[in-house]
Amino acid sequence: PMYHWKRDTGDCGDKETETEVLLLEHDVPHQPFSQAVLACLPPPTFSITAEKDQAGREDLRALSICSVDPPGCTDIDDALHCKPLDNGNTEVEVHIADVSYFIRPGNALDEEASLRDTTVYLCGKVRCGFLLAIISSVLRPADFILSFLTLAWAWIRRGHCVIARTPWFTRGVFIVSPQASLTYAEAQLMMDDAGRKDPVTSSLRGLNSLAKILKQRRIQNGALTLASPEVRFHMDSETHDPIDLQTKELKETNSMVEEFMLLANISVAERIVDEFPECALLRRHPAPPPSNYDILVNAAKSK
């Protein structure tokens, strides 16, 4: 076959070389951000205090909003809130960090975002970052975590029914300040402690109760539940080599967050189809080929 030499990536078997080759083979953009992109970022002193940042936004920093993420998470980009209403219903909100606030159409950051599309995680390599990673790396963590501009989705729970609030989606009008930035384990301990009656714990319990309804409804509608366990690598702090393998312990809070992220994505997809029926572009997994079931079918036949 014809080929031409481009560059030497390193020695075969070397971890960094093999990681580089893996990224190149799959066309994953992983080069450092250019100076043009970095020039589009807010200054390190940015905080949500200026009137221009708050203009037209509803300030929700007094509410019992919380974030629930894996331990060690630095890119806190979503938060949840649940509150009872006077009529007996429950209002639920999902807030997603509005990184588009920092992007101007057509600038270098916008073009870079269109090329990268998503954040890619690899064992031994923290990530090939996307928008939130680069923005939060520049901003002071305390400012960005404690107060951030969001897009918001809201629903009303009436018994076992969940309906979209009207207006159910509002872009760029909220400022939220999570009252607690929790890990899955911390949130689970709070919910399990019967003696806790504080607003954040009450909100978590309301969210978890609704998440169970959402999950059951998805399963009844034909959702595929995968039973394969997720594994987590423990890395050496100096060499970054894997030194241990642990099966991830899933808690109710994992499922709770997953359900509301799914609900937000599904709601946005439905809205896109309603508004742009002729050109909506949605991702849909293809049906698995029959050969994928060969092992299962043969095992069942042997019984």
Q: What is the pLDDT of residues 31-80, one digit of tens each?
A: 888 899 888 887 777 766 654 555 666 777 777 788 898 887 777 778 88
pLDDT at 164: 64
Helix (H, G, I), strand (E, B) or coil at 239: coil
Residue-level pLDDT at 19: 86
The share of the chain scoring above pLDDT 90, in percent, equals 17
Residue 222 half-sphere exposure toward CB, CA atoms < 13 A: 0
Q: Where are the beta strands (DSSP E) in the chain?
A: 58-59, 66-69, 78-84, 90-97, 120-122, 125-128, 148-158, 161-176, 180-183, 231-235, 242-247
Beta bridge partners of 181: 67
Question: Please, what is the average pLDDT of the chain?
Answer: 79
pLDDT at 174 (0 to 100): 55
Structure tokens at 253: 């809070």
Q: Say if CB 212 and CB 226 are below 8 A apart.
A: no
Cβ atoms < 10 Å from Cβ of 174? 22
Burial class from Cβ neighbours inside 10 Å (0-12, 13-18, 19+) for residue 80 reads buried
